[in-house]
Chain A
């Protein structure tokens, strides 16, 4: 079990709900992923279309816990106000805090992120900050009151996997007791398995599933990958070596001596 702000979750896969071909495919993908937590957002609602109302009904029917985000926010004030609005609509103090600092990479504005986290934690929010692998920023976020961190694997939607393996490994080693969820940039299930093998607690996937040719099958593939990665981590992987080490015992080898 993974405890996120005193909530136990079994699945190490969290799923985003955006960019699916249809609501029906989204629902099937969530079921296939076995995810217990899905991310959601807030957008302007048209009184005529009421698209948000239909989406919210769909999510409630799935019976999953929601993690609202502040996607699209570029300023502390915007992110804080969006968090207040999300808390009211979704009825949760969980917030995936995003403060975007750069358009091409959607890299977090880590300065604004820390400021917003400080405000929201003080107000009783349970903040999941979308951050980089930077150790100092991580320290600041924890000091602000965050109990979970969501470092990026690679830029959102890029599918590049664990871009800075050294930095992420250092982050994991530096904060052995903090739940770390790789958010963003994973492209294929092997990336997710790798993250779990390295000791990360969970992964959040959206584009890699939603934009796959068959999102439902890909969701199931990611579910298997995180289970394999976690099992491998628990089983204790061997250390890599530079030179060969024979796996077959040499004692009693024929034609020697």
Chain B
């Protein structure tokens, strides 16, 4: 299916968020996630099902003022 990851369309074979993140290369990273604007805690990623067209945000620590 196609999902929008940080504003870029990506293809994934995985049906749930945790698997998709692993497949896309985020394994082991300190990140926080949201699906369609809703925060998804890391503990819930394995049981968060994805659907074609879902919008995923993958955020990490960054410089800020």
Contact = CB atoms under 8 A, between A and B. Distances in A.
Interface in B32-65: 32-34, 37-39, 41-42, 57-65
A134 to B, nearest CB: 22
Contacts of A156: 65
Q: Determine the interface band of chain A, counting residues with CB < 8 A from chain B.
A: 35 or more
Contact of A47 (B24, B30, B39): B24
Interface string A24-52: 00100000000000011111111110111
Interface stretch (A4-12, A80-88, A216-224): A80-88
Contacts of B62: 40-43, 51-52, 55
B65 A89 contact: no
B61 A40 contact: yes
Contacts of A55: 60-63
A132 interface: no
A59 B61 contact: yes
Contact of B39 (A26, A56, A81): A81
Contacts of B25: 47-48
A18 interface: yes
Interface residues of B, number: 25
B31 interface: yes
B29 A39 contact: no
A195 B7 CA distance: 41
Given A81-B39, A88-B41, A47 B63 contact: no
A184 B34 CA distance: 29
Contact of A16 (B33, B41, B59, B65): B65
A45 B6 contact: yes
B26 interface: yes
A19 interface: yes
Interface in A175-215: 184, 204, 206-207
A71 interface: yes
B32 A89 contact: yes
A69 B64 CA distance: 7
A78 to B, nearest CB: 8
A69 B65 contact: yes
A28 to B, nearest CB: 15
